[in-house]
Amino acid sequence: MESIKWGMIGCGDVTEVKSGPAFNKVPNSSLVAVMRRDGVKARDYAARHGVPKWYTDAQALIDDPEVNAIYIATPPAQHEAYTLMAFEAGKPVYVEKPMTLNAASAIRMNEAALDKDMKLSIAHYRRAQPMFLKIKALLEDQEIGAIRLVQLKMFQTAHVNPLADASENWRLNPSISGGGLFHDLAPHQLDLMIFFFGEWKTASGLSRNQSGIGMADDLVTGQIAFKNGIVFNGSWCFSVAEQDCSDQCEIFGSLGKISFQVFGHQIRVTKGGIAKVYDFSPLPHVQQPMIEQVTAYFLGKSPNPCSAAEAILSMQLMDRFTEQD
């Protein structure tokens, strides 16, 4: 292939700004077709974003001869089936995070990619953003010495996230999302830990539905021992008081610490009581750096920026933390 002509399955809110427009802004890439079961919404999306074709049937989009790669942006429950359909058609896949409902499904997807010799990339797009590449560089340069411990907190009120207000919100239905807002937000955080620190050795956790909102647990805690000896402690609670909301990750080393918000734009490095701050501008399309790397990978010009094997590691962590494994 000389260029990637994308077909996008699912064109909901996540694709309006975060990903959709970026497919036409990276080299050797264009979005040529979109699919949504609601034809009115599919046609409207195509018209607003200048996409030449729209479909209401995923197989029809996959079979379009002009489409040579598939981006899957549906709820996680559909990721595996659509990935396998794309592979049968001989087309590589870029699939949204979380990769799928659980680790067992993720392993099947990876095995299918290997069996069919197909390329599969996962949209853990923060690992391609400048802010997190800077953190990785600071760690590799031992800016805070030998890493000891990571502490992460993600606390929200039951209504701080508008996604939690809709009674029909699929993110609160574990059979569709895998497990509520934890499964929507934690993949970003856990994948970054794997990106920074590599494979893990042991992991455990617990989860509870304390608020009774929806069917998913809204309190999750987890602990990881990485193979390199680093220890991670994480807590996610989506029913705290407003004054207790938090998005904080602290990486402690023998010489200091690195602090940042996973959903923020600033890094603070503290050593000897002195703090150095790195500020980053918000990206117009947060997935654009990752889409550029995936496009290059599909064209055979660079390595896979996030493989299925790497994504399986974070899926397994979520299963352990929510006591599904």
Q: Give the model confidence (pLDDT) of 3-25 as tens digits.
A: 999 999 999 999 999 999 999 99
**Tens of pLDDT, residues 34-89:** 999 999 999 999 999 999 999 999 999 999 999 999 999 999 999 999 999 999 99
> How many CA atoms within 13 Å lie on the side-chain side of 233?
5
pLDDT of residue 178: 83
Locus of tokens 């021992």? 225
Of the candidate ranges 113-127, 152-166, 216-230, the one whose mean pLDDT is the lowest: 152-166
For the domain with range 4-124+286-305, which CATH number is right: 3.20.20.70, 3.40.50.720, 3.30.230.10, 3.90.1260.10?
A: 3.40.50.720
Please check whether residue 198 is in contact with residue 216, taking contact to mean a CB–CB distance below 8 angstroms.
no
At 166, the pLDDT band (50, 70, 90 cuts) reads very low
DSSP strand pairing (29-35 vs 53-55): parallel
DSSP strand pairing (53-55 vs 120-122): unpaired
Neighbours of 25 (CB within 10 A): 14
pLDDT of residue 168: 57
Beta strands in the chain (DSSP E): 4-9, 29-35, 53-55, 69-72, 93-95, 120-122, 147-155, 200-208, 219-226, 231-237, 246-253, 257-260, 266-271, 274-279
- The rounded distance, in Å, linking the Cα atoms of 318 and 76 is 14
| More confident: 178 or 319 | 319
pLDDT of residue 164: 45
Please check whether residue 76 is in contact with residue 183, taking contact to mean a CB–CB distance below 8 angstroms.
yes
- The rounded distance, in Å, linking the Cα atoms of 323 and 216 is 13
- Show me where the domains of the chain are located: 4-124+286-305, 130-282
Averaged confidence pLDDT in the chain: 95
Which whole number is the average pLDDT over 233-255?
97
| More confident: 243 or 175 | 243
User: What percentage of residues in the chain have a pLDDT greater than 90?
Assistant: 90
Query: Exposure pattern of 234-252 as b/e (b: 16+ CB <10 Å)?
Result: bebbbbbeeeeeebebebb
pLDDT of residue 325: 63
- The rounded distance, in Å, linking the Cα atoms of 284 and 73 is 19
Domain 130-282 class, CATH top level: alpha beta
| More confident: 6 or 214 | 6
